[in-house]
Amino acid sequence: MKSRDHISDEQLLLRYTRGDAEAFATLVKRYERELFGFLARFLGDSTLAEDVFQETFLQVHISADSFDVSRRLKPWLFTIAANKARDALRRRFRRPAAELDAEVTAGEDNLHFIDLIPANIPPPSARIENREAADAVQSIVRRMPENLRVVLLLSYFHEFAYKEIAEILSVPLGTVKSRLHMGVKEFARRWALAGKKDTE
């Protein structure tokens, strides 16, 4: 797998469509911390986030042949994840395990999709030293309205450009900017209130 570390996301997906299952595993490994972190913050539930993480890559597996490798894969991946997460919030529905047992073509190896997904995905704040502050930030973000929360996460936590966020969420560029402005103001208000409570 080390030999694949320098390969672009797009080339990894292309290799996967040509039968290289390890290329897919490399892609999953490359995004497991960042994408799981996004989902955990957005959903506020690490168990549900792990389910949606798996569903996201299952969709990538299903749709791999239709992806245009001349485009960047990361915004497409986050588009799928955001849609799956919003569906999960609306339904709180878990996809049957049978779908995760889909067979993957990998030469002579008889692998299943679930074999390529890592277990025990690390929590999003695992590397943050000031755990108390990280928990406070996540608690505030988790309680914000969904439309503001997702824009904040994509912009500040994952550093997507406004145009990419607009593509991921299928909304106009102006909507992204206004929601981000409102989200920052709302976060600042809630952070200030939390600070006041701590000093009382």
b/e string for 140-166 if b means 16 or more Cβ within 10 A? Answer: bbeebeeebbbbbbbbebbebeeebbb
Mean pLDDT taken over the chain: 80
Amino acid identity at 92:
R
With 90 as the cut, is the pLDDT of residue 141 above it?
A: no
Count of alpha carbons within 13 angstroms of residue 196, beta-carbon side: 6
Top pLDDT among 189 and 198 is at 189
38 neighbors 157 (Cβ within 8 angstroms): yes
Question: Which helix H or strand E contains 101, and what residues bound it?
Answer: none
What's the pLDDT score for residue 108?
A: 47
174 neighbors 167 (Cβ within 8 angstroms): no
What's the pLDDT score for residue 124?
A: 46
Question: 125-200 maps to which CATH number?
Answer: 1.10.10.10
Domain boundaries, the chain: 1-124, 125-200
Query: Cα(11)–Cα(13) distance, rounded to whole angstroms?
Result: 5
Percent of the chain with pLDDT over 90: 44
What's the pLDDT score for residue 197?
A: 63
Condensed to tens digits (0 to 9), the pLDDT of residues 77-110 reads: 999 999 999 988 887 644 444 444 445 444 445 5
Query: Cα(137)–Cα(188) distance, rounded to whole angstroms?
Result: 10
The CATH architecture to which 1-124 belongs is: Orthogonal Bundle (1.10)
Top pLDDT among 33 and 123 is at 33
b/e string for 73-105 if b means 16 or more Cβ within 10 A? Answer: bbbbbbbbbbbbbbebeeeeeeeeeeebeeebe
